[in-house]
Amino acid sequence: MARCFVTRALPGAALQRLADAHDVDEWPEPGPPPRAELLDRASEADGLLALLTDRVDRELFDDCPSLRAVSNYAVGTDNVDLALATERGIPVGHTPDVLTETTADLAFALMLAAARRVVEADASVRRGEWPVWQPGGFLGHDLNGAVLGIVGLGRIGGAVARRAAGFAMEVIHTGRPDGAPLDELLRRADFVSLHIPLTNETRGLVGEPELQLMQDSAYLINTARGEVVRTDELTRALEQGQIAGAGLDVTDPEPLPADHPLLGLTNVVITPHIGSASERARAAMADMAVDNLLAALAGERMPHCANPDVYLTRRAP
């Protein structure tokens, strides 16, 4: 029986399957364990089930000599030093595909909410300010027939493109084989939706130069990673009307401080990183994360491994 540290309670019954097979220490609070607690409670663990908020880096690997497997409860692994994990023969699991459709739903929800000023209108009603109907009240922009620019036509970007067909949108995208250059996409699109992983190349990809290329009637939608967008430059663009608005499920920093200027703007809709937050998707993620950990602790290949080269490393003399 192995020792496992799980950094948060998860939806569904998956953690019970892990507890039936191994000794599980589960962090009891709704928020992430503080760094010192993470290092202390993982120090004797054979398996770690982590979230994106948990930094799995050299310090943690050095402090956890018994660690044999890391399972990340996320598609992305930018919180994990994958290269070092591979070097040390530690497989890292993730949860691809399962949240594709759920995140695409949210991307479209943010487009609709931002373009049709749904949050702004709802707040007006809740303040008791239901206005007399007037031709110019809460005017927004149509999705139907608009140009949607998808930056990153992977699984989620492709799912967003399928939804766009139902709105008769013209879809353009970056990347091969028939993608447009980013600057052309930014100039043409009425909605720019980001669906790229966070890498050294994509960090800060969208800033003042890119926002200046966009139309003043265009919207930026980000359900990828907050660090892909330079927050201060986006804030200025929204304040100055350089673009019409934004829909953000991710921000940099995350969470935003209570006094952050973005929170005072009416032309931005912000949700707290809920792209995968449906009951079905989150429970399926938990099952995949536990399956990854159970397989690795049994000496088997993880079904969803983010660093498959680790198995080549393990076979090397």
Residues 91, 129 within the same domain: no
State in Å, rounded, how far the first CA of the chain is from the last one.
28
Of 292, 288, 242, 287, nearest in space to 268 by CA: 242
Residues 124, 56 within the same domain: no
Here the CATH number for the domain that contains residue 71 is: 3.40.50.720
pLDDT band at 314 (very low <50, low <70, confident <90, very high): low
pLDDT band at 316 (very low <50, low <70, confident <90, very high): very low
Q: Which two tokens stand for residue 143?
A: 């999705």
Residues 132, 247 within the same domain: yes
Among candidate residues 37, 101, 120, 254, the one labeled active-site is 254
Reported as a single tens digit per residue, the pLDDT across 272-282 is 999 999 999 99
Span 76-95, average pLDDT:
96
Residues 132, 262 within the same domain: yes
Q: What percent of the chain has pLDDT over 90?
A: 93
Give long-range contacts, CB 8 A cutoff, 24+ apart: 11-20.
11/279, 11/282, 11/283, 11/286, 12/282, 12/283, 12/286, 12/287, 14/283, 14/286, 14/287, 14/289, 14/290, 15/286, 15/290, 17/290, 17/294, 18/49, 18/290, 18/293, 18/294
CA pair distance 32, 107, nearest whole angstrom: 26
pLDDT value at residue 177: 81
Domain range for residue 120? 100-270
Of 88, 108, 104, 114, nearest in space to 154 by CA: 104
Residues 84, 41 within the same domain: yes
Residues 308, 173 within the same domain: no
Residues 284, 263 within the same domain: no
Residue 120 clears pLDDT 70, i.e. is over it: yes
Among candidate residues 225, 230, 282, 304, the one labeled active-site is 225
Residues 50, 142 within the same domain: no
* 273 in active site: yes
Residues 75, 192 within the same domain: no
Residue 131 clears pLDDT 90, i.e. is over it: no
Reported as a single tens digit per residue, the pLDDT across 133-186 is 788 889 999 999 999 999 999 999 999 999 999 999 999 999 888 999 999 999
Task: Identify the weakest region by mean pLDDT among 58-72, 96-110, 263-277, 303-317.
Answer: 303-317
Residue 64 clears pLDDT 90, i.e. is over it: yes
User: Number of structural domains, the chain?
Assistant: 2
Residues 190, 179 within the same domain: yes
pLDDT value at residue 103: 96
Among candidate residues 22, 68, 273, 304, the one labeled active-site is 273
* 173 in active site: no
Burial class (CB in 10 A: 0-12, 13-18, 19+), 277: middle
Span 49-57, average pLDDT:
96
pLDDT value at residue 313: 61
**HSE value, Cβ hemisphere, 13 Å, CA-based, for 145:** 2
Span 42-51, average pLDDT:
98
pLDDT value at residue 315: 44
| DSSP per-residue codes, 133-152 | P-TTTT-----TT-EEEEE-
* 225 in active site: yes
CA pair distance 65, 234, nearest whole angstrom: 43
Residues 219, 309 within the same domain: no
pTM over 0.85: yes
pLDDT value at residue 135: 87
Last residue of a domain, one of 252, 270, 288: 270
Residues 222, 285 within the same domain: no
> Where do we find the tokens 């000599």?
65
Average pLDDT along the chain: 95
